[in-house]
Amino acid sequence: MQKKHIMDSIIDSNLIEENSVIVVGFSGGPDSLCLLHALASIADVYNLTLVPVHINHKLRPEADEEQIRAAKMCEKMGLDCNVFEVDCKAIAEELHISTEEAGRYIRYEIFDDVCEDLQAEGVEHDKIYVAVAHNADDQSETVLFRLLRGTGPTGLEGMPLTRATEKGFLLIRPLLGVTRKEIEQYIEVNKLHPNIDQSNEGTDYTRNKIRNELIPYLEKNYNPKIRQALLRYAELAQIDNVLLRDIAFSECSDKINIDSNMVRLDITGIKENPPAINSRIVNLIFDLIGIEDKISFELVNATLALIYSDNPSGSIDLPDGFRARREYETIIFSVPDKEQIIPIDSSLRMIPQVMMIQDYNPHDNSLYAAFDFDEFNIDYPGKVGELKLRGREEGDFIAIKNGHKKIQDYFVDSKVKKIARESILMVAIDNEVLWVLPSNYLGSETERQKGKYSQKYHVSDTTKRVLFIEIADKL
């Protein structure tokens, strides 16, 4: 009877497609043995190809023996076990993460590698699935774990039935509606002999403490059906979040720009949305950059504060080295050391000339600026040769109508992105800028076409000699 119940749960999940190739995460423990055995039982009916994958993390003395046992279990079911041995502890140290996090990272990376090998052998991408054995008890523990950690509403959904892996293969959880007790009954009825990971009985990891200490305490002292209550809570959160995510996606689908190193969110208009929608937009982006499992309610709120703030700049640190940084009407999600500062154009040269006003007849298609030489010569006598074509320097300023403005302040007012500020060329003498050359990163269309001119040394009706500055390609 128990066997039929498990089969019905897997089939009713609608996750199993005919003619599929399923990569099955197989530790040999009760959950994964139940999953693999159940899938093997329906493989002929659904024409399934099963590819069990066992990963030996080399963390426990008994890991090698469990590897041998896992291979023998697969052999009894007529399956070849794909075994991988990895030094999980060394990887954890290299990445500066816990062994628990490293194990998860390694598992899903290997699953993707196996899927890509299958695709290379000719299996269609959409026919390849990854199946893992998370069950209903795992789900309730996950919800409680995230609740204690301070997750937002999205995290309270728990684990989804399906999700895409890093390489775009579909990961499925066919046992998510099955309790641990039902799995144990399945194991007993079918006379299976799983590996037993004794570390699951300890309290070394937070999840083990929740499973072995907190939930039993809550069942005994507060609610004997706490697991069911947490599952219902996850289901209700999922119903609400699906609707709100759909709305959020429609609001931001044309405002997200993705490249290899960062995600940009145009917040024009989005600032008018209620926080319930924008929090889902933020979570969509966290999902895109792969940190959704590490995000707390506080970080979501901090990111929302960047969106709603009147301050056009600001930043917050996110997990895995990511940072959310606001630049005017854009929020940039990136790893800072991967952001590429836009380089200065070193292919140009400056040609300064002094000419009589009657000889001043520039070509419209040339890039140039003109100033009253005699006015300039009063401030900088005999120093035309000291004019430089360069990027900005500390202390630079440009003359405006009623005084002068720091170049830093000009860039801020013109909404020049930080990563572009070092790329903008200017003609200067000492720290006085005569001309900020045209750039696509400047604020107005006029400045993007002609640049920004100093308000001093204007050519006028009284000008006799012109300081003519032309920009040309280097010879």
What are 444-460's pLDDT values in tens digits? 878 888 899 999 999 99
Give the model's pLDDT for residue 340.
60
What are 268-282's pLDDT values in tens digits? 888 889 988 988 898
Q: Which CATH number fits domain 2-224: 3.40.50.720, 3.30.470.20, 3.40.50.620, 3.40.718.10?
A: 3.40.50.620
Give the model's pLDDT for residue 202.
47
Q: What is the CATH number of domain 253-338?
A: 3.30.465.60
Give the model's pLDDT for residue 61.
86
Going residue by residue through the chain, which has 475 residues, state the pLDDT in tens, using 9 for 90 and above: 455 678 888 888 889 999 999 999 999 999 999 999 999 999 999 999 999 999 999 888 889 999 999 999 999 999 999 999 988 888 888 777 788 888 888 999 999 999 999 999 999 999 999 999 999 999 999 999 888 877 766 778 888 889 888 888 999 999 999 999 999 999 999 999 998 766 555 445 677 888 889 999 999 999 999 999 999 988 888 888 888 888 888 888 888 888 767 888 999 888 889 988 988 898 888 888 878 777 777 888 899 999 999 888 888 888 877 888 898 889 999 876 655 667 788 888 999 999 999 988 877 677 899 999 999 999 999 999 999 999 999 999 999 988 899 998 898 888 787 777 888 999 999 999 999 999 888 878 788 888 999 999 999 989 999 999 999 887 6
User: Taking a C-beta distance cutoff of 8 angstroms, is the pair 9, 175 a contact?
Assistant: yes
For the chain, the domains span 2-224, 253-338, 348-473
